[in-house]
Amino acid sequence: MAIATASAVPTSVLKPKDSITVIDNRTGKSIDIEITNNSIPATAFSQLKAPYADGERPENDTPYGLRVLDPSFINTAIIQSEITYIDGNKGFLMHRGYPIEQLAEKSSYLETAYLLIYGELPSKSQLDLWNWEIMHHTFVADDLQQMIRQMRYDSHPMSVFISAFSAMSAFAPEANPALQGSDLYITNKPLMNKQIVRILGKATTVAAMAYRIRINRPFTPPRSDLSYTENLLYMMDHMAEPNSYRPDPRLAKALDILFILHADHEMNCSTSTMVHVGSSLVDPYSCVAAASAALYGPLHGGANEAVIRMLAKIGSVENVPDFLERVKEKKELLFGFGHRVYRETDPRSKVIREVADMVFEVCGREPLIEVAIALKDAALKDEYFTSRKLFPNVDYWSGLIYKAMGFPLDFFPVLFVVPRLAGYLAHWKQQLDSGKNKISRPRQVYIGKGRRDYIPVEAREARPITGKTGLNAIPHYISKRRLTKI
Ligand code: CMC
């Protein structure tokens, strides 16, 4: 498969040092702030304070100096990183300097994971050891398996995945800074490496278990002689076939490329959660559970699932114009379109189109593809979408590929989170290795009520239960066969 290499590969992304002068027009105070790598420290603004005389400060006004308000982190950097670089205007993505197109064509998922986590492509012997360790940390403890088995047959696989990682923390007391000391991962790097291979190794096993619960089949033990994605497909699908059973290598390869494309994407919602939670020095299993929960939402890793539900709801090509009208009226969201960072194109979606063709060749063309293509073509010609720089993102196509491969819809986010663990771990390691970790603690701008005194309940004004001002009456299931009604 030939994958185009991006033409604009920046050799360096660092900018020279410079400065910016800010004048507070309330007081005339001027401050010079150093610009480093095209960024300024937000803390510099705290020098600018409102000009109140003593005792005149309004009740809700902050005494701490000017705050930088940035809900949803639209333009706030929370780390300095050497891992992943995105140029959103050019549609360019690279990991540790290597363009994503080259990694997708030439690397493997586990090799890319090594690159992300340790900073360089591994030598042959480093890669062999890395693969061996990960494929020999795939077993999940028997009591954890039993816990996973207790989850309901209709649990969303992401709920199972998150719960399993959360529980893993309880199965590894030696890896828990709460028990072993808060500087555990600052001082004990071999222990850190061990958790990294354990997390990557167990992720596919837990993913396959989350799938097998849904179809009421026993768990399949992992096989260390298979590749990472082959083993995942094997654990999902193996039944009573002899041990020579192998998943189709073309699909294992396609999945491996998809895993490379999903391995990291710098400060997305879930990776920033990993960094945020990790900053408290909690154990990495709890961090992974929290980050995976952030990924699960429909605006993030749940979008690939939402795309298929949307295409199925549209149903056929004739219904595309009506659907787009509803999107423009803001009655619907066009899932799989738009991105906070990319403004022209998502480089991963170009590669993924080629993977789609590989998969359709093996599994047959996914019927919803006609609707998907008509929807994409119509949206890309429509001023509403072009003026807002909305175009297909990686999730637009990945869902179609997963559906063609026969994965159930609710399993799609699992196929996103498993490879994203490499990115989570790379950022977790970078943060703890930096020697500069401080607990993440954002500020807020309070806009609520001023100070007031407590009123006893008997003295408060009567207010009806409307459902708008507080808790409304919640309907309870009451059996018709009860003698006493509640
Ligand atoms: N469908 C319809 N309108 C949209 C969409 C969309 N998918 N995305 C953005 N818009 C509109 C939005 O309503 C707003 O319009 P207006 O200016 O009239 O208010 C404008 O475009 C700007 O959007 P925004 O909400 O400011 O964009 P954002 O950067 O906050 O949101 C996003 C980014 C990815 C959450 C959003 O584009 C979205 O909800 N997309 C659909 C969900 C999706 O595909 N998510 C996967 C993202 S890629 C994988 C990942 O990183 O997880």
pLDDT band, very low/low/confident/very high, at 3 (cuts 50, 70, 90): very low
Among residues of the chain, what percentage have pLDDT more than 90? 75
337 lines ligand 1 (CB under 6 A): yes
pLDDT tens column, 150-159: 999 999 999 9
For position 60, what pLDDT does the model report?
64
Place of tokens 């012997």: 125
DSSP-assigned letters across all residues of 138-172: ----HHHHHHHHTS-TT--HHHHHHHHHHHHHHH-
Say how far residue 483 (Cα) sits from the centre of its chain: 50
Nearest residue by C-alpha to atom 51 in ligand 1: 300
For position 469, what pLDDT does the model report?
65
Tell which wins on pLDDT, 62 or 462.
Answer: 462
Nearest residue by C-alpha to atom 22 in ligand 1: 388
The ligand 1 atom at the shortest distance from the C-alpha of residue 396 is 44
379 lines ligand 1 (CB under 6 A): no
| DSSP state, residue 123 | P
Nearest residue by C-alpha to atom 27 in ligand 1: 340
For position 481, what pLDDT does the model report?
85
pLDDT band, very low/low/confident/very high, at 55 (cuts 50, 70, 90): confident
424 lines ligand 1 (CB under 6 A): no
Question: 338 CA to middle of ligand 1, Å?
Answer: 5
Question: 351 CA to middle of ligand 1, Å?
Answer: 22
For position 4, what pLDDT does the model report?
38
For residues 438-447, give the mean pLDDT.
Answer: 91
User: Is 395 annotated in the active site?
Assistant: yes
Is residue 10 pLDDT above 70, yes or no?
A: no
d(CA 325, CA 306): 19
Token pair of 25, please? 């027009």
253 lines ligand 1 (CB under 6 A): no
For position 17, what pLDDT does the model report?
63
Helices 109-118 and 124-135 cross at an angle (nearest 10°) of 110
341 lines ligand 1 (CB under 6 A): no
pLDDT band, very low/low/confident/very high, at 449 (cuts 50, 70, 90): confident
The ligand 1 atom at the shortest distance from the C-alpha of residue 265 is 51
For position 240, what pLDDT does the model report?
81
The ligand 1 atom at the shortest distance from the C-alpha of residue 301 is 52
Token pair of 417, please? 């989170």
Contact partners, residue 398, CB within 8 Å, separation at least 6: 258, 261, 262, 304, 352, 412, 415, 416
Question: 391 CA to middle of ligand 1, Å?
Answer: 10
301 lines ligand 1 (CB under 6 A): yes
Is residue 105 pLDDT above 80, yes or no?
A: yes
For position 486, what pLDDT does the model report?
55
Total residues found in the chain within this entry: 486
For residues 282-292, give the mean pLDDT.
Answer: 98
Residue of 300, 346, 410, 427 marked catalytic: 300
pLDDT tens column, 461-480: 988 777 666 777 778 887 88
For residues 133-142, give the mean pLDDT.
Answer: 97
Q: Quick one: which H or E segment has residue 283?
A: none
Nearest residue by C-alpha to atom 1 in ligand 1: 334
For position 344, what pLDDT does the model report?
81
For position 470, what pLDDT does the model report?
74
335 lines ligand 1 (CB under 6 A): yes
Bridge partners (DSSP) of residue 30 are: 23
Is residue 30 pLDDT above 60, yes or no?
A: yes
Question: 446 CA to middle of ligand 1, Å?
Answer: 27
For residues 430-442, give the mean pLDDT.
Answer: 95
Q: Is 61 helix (H, G, I), strand (E, B) or coil?
A: coil
Tell which wins on pLDDT, 49 or 323.
Answer: 323
Residue of 339, 346, 410, 427 marked catalytic: 339
Bridge partners (DSSP) of residue 31 are: 22
Is residue 14 pLDDT above 60, yes or no?
A: no
201 lines ligand 1 (CB under 6 A): no
Q: Where is average pLDDT lowest: 188-197, 214-223, 287-296, 299-308?
A: 299-308
pLDDT band, very low/low/confident/very high, at 204 (cuts 50, 70, 90): very high
Mean pLDDT of the chain: 91
394 lines ligand 1 (CB under 6 A): yes
303 lines ligand 1 (CB under 6 A): yes
pLDDT tens column, 224-277: 999 999 999 999 999 888 777 899 999 999 999 999 999 999 999 999 999 999
For position 193, what pLDDT does the model report?
98
For position 468, what pLDDT does the model report?
65
Among residues of the chain, what percentage have pLDDT more than 70? 94
d(CA 94, CA 461): 61
Nearest residue by C-alpha to atom 34 in ligand 1: 339
Token pair of 192, please? 């850190």
For position 189, what pLDDT does the model report?
96
The ligand 1 atom at the shortest distance from the C-alpha of residue 334 is 1
Nearest residue by C-alpha to atom 5 in ligand 1: 338
For position 455, what pLDDT does the model report?
97
324 lines ligand 1 (CB under 6 A): no
Tell which wins on pLDDT, 15 or 422.
Answer: 422
pLDDT band, very low/low/confident/very high, at 327 (cuts 50, 70, 90): very high
For position 340, what pLDDT does the model report?
85
Q: Is 335 helix (H, G, I), strand (E, B) or coil?
A: coil
For position 13, what pLDDT does the model report?
54
Question: 85 CA to middle of ligand 1, Å?
Answer: 21
pLDDT band, very low/low/confident/very high, at 451 (cuts 50, 70, 90): confident
Question: 389 CA to middle of ligand 1, Å?
Answer: 10
Contact partners, residue 375, CB within 8 Å, separation at least 6: 311, 314, 320, 323, 324, 334
The ligand 1 atom at the shortest distance from the C-alpha of residue 307 is 44
